[in-house]
Chain A
Amino acid sequence: MNRLYLERRAVPSRIMGFIAPALALLAMIVCAIPMLELAGLAPLATLRVFFLQPLSTGNGISEWLLKANPLILIGLGLAVGYRANVWNIGAEGMYTVGAICAAWVALHFAAGVHHWLLAAMMLAGILGGMAWAAIPAFLKTHLNTSEILVSLMLTYVAQLLLSWLVNGPMQDPEGLNYPQTALFSESATFSPLIAGMRVNASIFITLGAVVLAWLLLDRSFLGFQLKVSGAAPAAARYAGYAQARLTWISLAVSGATAGLAGMFEAAGPLGQLSPVISPGYGFAAIIVAFIGRLRPIGVLCGGLLLSLLYLGGEAAQMSMNVPAALSRSFQGLLLFCLLATDVLVDFRIRVKA
Chain B
Amino acid sequence: MRPRLALEAITKRYGSVAANDSVSLLVAPGEIHAVLGENGAGKSTLMKIIYGAIRADAGEIFWEDRQVSIASPSAARELGIGMVYQHFSLFETVSVVDNIALVNKGRFDRAGLATRISHLSERYGLPVDPHRLVHHLSVGERQRVEILRCLLQSPKLLILDEPTSVLAPQAVVRLFEVLRALAADGCSILYISHKLEEIRELCDGATILRGGKVVGAVKPAEVSAAELARLMVGAAVAPVTRPPAVAGRARLTVRGLSLQPADPFGTALRGVELEVRAGEVVGIAGVSGNGQAELLDALSGERISAVDTVLLDGTPIAHLGAGARRQRGLAFIPEERLGRGAVPGMSLKENALLTGYREGLVQRGFTRSGRIEAFARRIIDGFDVRCSGTDAVAASLSGGNLQKFIVGRERSLEPAVLIVSQPTWGVDVAAAAFLRQSLIDLSRKGAAVLIVSEELEELLEVCDRIAVLFHGRLSAAMPREAISIDQLGLLMTGTDAGAA
Contacts and interface: CB of A to CB of B under 8 A. Distances in A.
With a 10 A CB-CB cut-off, give which of B322, B341, B343, B393 has the most chain A CB atoms.
B343
Interface stretch (B82-90, B121-129, B154-162, B352-360): B352-360
Interface in B335-374: 336, 339-347, 350, 353-355, 357, 362, 365-367
Contacts of A219: 366-367
Interface string A4-29: 00001011100000000000000000
Given A221-B365, A235-B340, A241 B323 contact: yes
A238 B334 contact: yes
Contacts of A234: 336, 339-340
Contacts, number: 76
A240 interface: yes
Contacts of A231: 343-346
Contacts of B25: none
Contact of A242 (B323, B325, B346, B362): B323
Contact of A232 (B301, B339, B362): B339
Contacts of B366: 215, 219-221
Contacts of B340: 232, 234-235, 237-238
Interface in A202-254: 215, 219-222, 224, 227-228, 231-232, 234-235, 237-242
Contacts of A215: 366
B300 A238 contact: yes
Interface residues of A, number: 22
Given A219-B367, A221-B362, A222-B365, A235 B392 contact: no
Nearest to B321: A240
Nearest to B350: A224
Interface string A99-138: 0000000000000000000000000000000000000000
A76 B357 CA distance: 26
Interface residues of B, number: 35
Contacts of A232: 339-340, 343-344
B354 A10 contact: no
A107 B31 CA distance: 89
B392 A10 contact: yes
Given A10-B396, A220-B365, A239 B322 contact: yes
Contacts of B388: 10-11
B302 interface: yes
B332 interface: yes
Contacts of B393: 10-12
Contacts of A238: 300, 302, 322, 332, 334, 340-341, 355
Contact of A237 (B322, B365, B392): B322
Contacts of B210: none
With a 10 A CB-CB cut-off, give which of A11, A220, A227, A232 has the most chain B CB atoms.
A232
B322 A228 contact: no
B301 A224 contact: no
B251 interface: no
A328 to B, nearest CB: 33
Given A12-B393, A240-B326, A242-B321, A235 B354 contact: yes
A235 B323 contact: no
Interface in A11-50: 11-12
A73 to B, nearest CB: 23
Contacts of B173: none
A242 B322 CA distance: 9
B391 to A, nearest CB: 5
B152 interface: no
B324 interface: yes
A192 to B, nearest CB: 37
A238 B330 CA distance: 12
A112 B367 CA distance: 47
Contacts of B324: 240
A221 B359 CA distance: 13
B302 A237 contact: yes
Contact of B322 (A221, A222, A224, A240): A240
Contacts of A11: 347, 388, 391-393, 396
Contact of A221 (B336, B343, B344, B367): B367
Given A224-B350, A232-B340, A240 B367 contact: no
Interface string A172-211: 0000000000000000000000000000000000000000
Interface string A299-321: 00000000000000000000000
A194 B334 CA distance: 60
B13 to A, nearest CB: 11
B346 A228 contact: yes
B354 A228 contact: yes
B345 A240 contact: no
B209 to A, nearest CB: 24
B324 to A, nearest CB: 7
Interface string A149-170: 0000000000000000000000
B326 to A, nearest CB: 5
A90 to B, nearest CB: 28
Given A10-B393, A240-B324, A235 B343 contact: yes
Nearest to B325: A240
Contacts of B365: 220-222
A232 B355 CA distance: 14
B367 A235 contact: no
A219 B367 CA distance: 6
With a 10 A CB-CB cut-off, give which of A10, A227, A240 has the most chain B CB atoms.
A240
Contacts of A240: 301, 321-326, 355
B129 to A, nearest CB: 33
Contacts of A220: 365-367
Nearest to B346: A231
Contacts of A10: 388, 392-393, 396
A116 B398 CA distance: 59
B101 to A, nearest CB: 33
Interface string A251-275: 0000000000000000000000000
Nearest to A221: B362
Contacts of A222: 365
Given A232-B339, A234-B339, 11 more contacts: A10-B396, A11-B388, A215-B366, A220-B367, A221-B367, A232-B340, A232-B343, A235-B342, A239-B355, A240-B301, A240-B326
**Ordered nearest first, which 10 A-B pairs have the shortest CB separation?**
A240-B323, A240-B322, A234-B340, A232-B343, A221-B362, A10-B396, A239-B355, A238-B340, A235-B343, A239-B354
8 contacts: A222-B365, A224-B353, A224-B367, A227-B346, A228-B343, A231-B343, A231-B344, A235-B354
Interface of A: 8, 10-12, 215, 219-222, 224, 227-228, 231-232, 234-235, 237-242
